[in-house]
Amino acid sequence: MSTPHIDAEPGAFAETVLLPGDPLRAKHFAEAFLDDAQQVNSRRNMFGYTGLYRGQRVSVMGSGMGIASSRIYATELIRHYGVRRIIRVGTCGGVGDVALGQIILAQSASTDSNINRIGFGGHDFSAAADFSLLRQAVEAAENLQLPVRVAPIFSTDSFYDGDPNIVKLLRQHHILGVEMEAAGLYALAQREGVQALAILTVSDHLETDAHLSGDEREQGLGRMATLALECAAH
């Protein structure tokens, strides 16, 4: 079996998939955190792996950047491979009162993308994390003694040349982070009757231009992967 974008065998993915944007990060997570990891997808070099974490089957796969790419992979994982739980792990730009390196559990995701409106009859869709997955992530963070903030974020289609007033608007609405996938994943998951959550590390601050060093970024991503896996193994 294969889909237009995934050439894995039927049953190759676990019910829970961690979804970083970068396929090489998926490879790194699989090698660093999973036992007996097998590569299950290589089409377009969007590497996917399935292995064991604390004896439970978990997969990790790259999604590419942006709602368009990540929804293609998430849709095929859900509809063709029986995936029931998607945990995006990625970085975000910080807004307002949020520190570099802070982990954010994205409770809701506003967006400048039109994709949810198109799928929702032209109405505004309220894209939100699955509550029980969010609660599991909060509990896993408490067990790991990892400080997290549960907060609204913003998913943008434009990394460059977006709305010049957006940062001010986001701050006015107490939105803490900007990334490029969560709103699309949340709406897709709700429509498909599966669970989704985005766990994000603040890698740069959009008002101060401060950013994490390469090492700090890797440490942050490692902490996030552990949190996502503990949440998955709950």
Instruction: Cite the active site residues.
Output: 204
Q: Does 109 bind ligand HPA (CB under 6 A)?
A: no
Q: Does 153 bind ligand HPA (CB under 6 A)?
A: no
Cβ 187 to ligand HPA shortest distance, Å = 18
Largest CA distance in the chain: 48
Q: What is the DSSP letter of 18?
A: E
Residue in the block written with tokens 């959550």: 197
Residue nearer to ligand HPA on the CB measure, 50 or 70 = 70
What is 93-125 written as a DSSP string?
A: EE-SS--TT-EEEEEEEEES-SHHHHHTTTSPP
Residue nearer to ligand HPA on the CB measure, 52 or 101 = 101
* Binding piece for ligand HPA, criterion CB under 6 A, among 4-12, 27-35, 48-56, 177-185: 177-185
Q: Does 203 bind ligand HPA (CB under 6 A)?
A: yes
Residue in the block written with tokens 């570099």: 100
Residue nearer to ligand HPA on the CB measure, 156 or 195 = 156
Residues in a beta bridge with 199: 89, 105
Q: Which of 192, 204, 207, 216 binds ligand HPA (CB under 6 A)?
A: 204
Q: Which of 38, 159, 168, 169 binds ligand HPA (CB under 6 A)?
A: 159
Q: Does 91 bind ligand HPA (CB under 6 A)?
A: yes
Residue nearer to ligand HPA on the CB measure, 39 or 101 = 101
Q: Are 71 and 183 in contact (CB under 8 A)?
A: no
* Binding piece for ligand HPA, criterion CB under 6 A, among 10-18, 124-132, 174-182, 225-233: 174-182
Q: Does 157 bind ligand HPA (CB under 6 A)?
A: no
**In what helix (H) or strand (E) does residue 221 lie, and over which residues does it extend?**
helix 214-232
* Binding piece for ligand HPA, criterion CB under 6 A, among 56-64, 116-124, 198-206, 213-221: 198-206
- In this structure, what is the dihedral angle of CA atoms 203, 206, 209, 212, given to the nearest 10 degrees? -10
Residue nearer to ligand HPA on the CB measure, 100 or 137 = 100
Strands in the chain per DSSP E: 16-19, 35-41, 48-53, 56-61, 85-94, 103-111, 148-155, 177-179, 195-205
- In this structure, what is the dihedral angle of CA atoms 110, 195, 61, 59, given to the nearest 10 degrees? 160
Question: Which residue ranges make up the site for ligand HPA (CB under 6 A)?
Answer: 91-93, 156, 159, 178-180, 203-204, 206
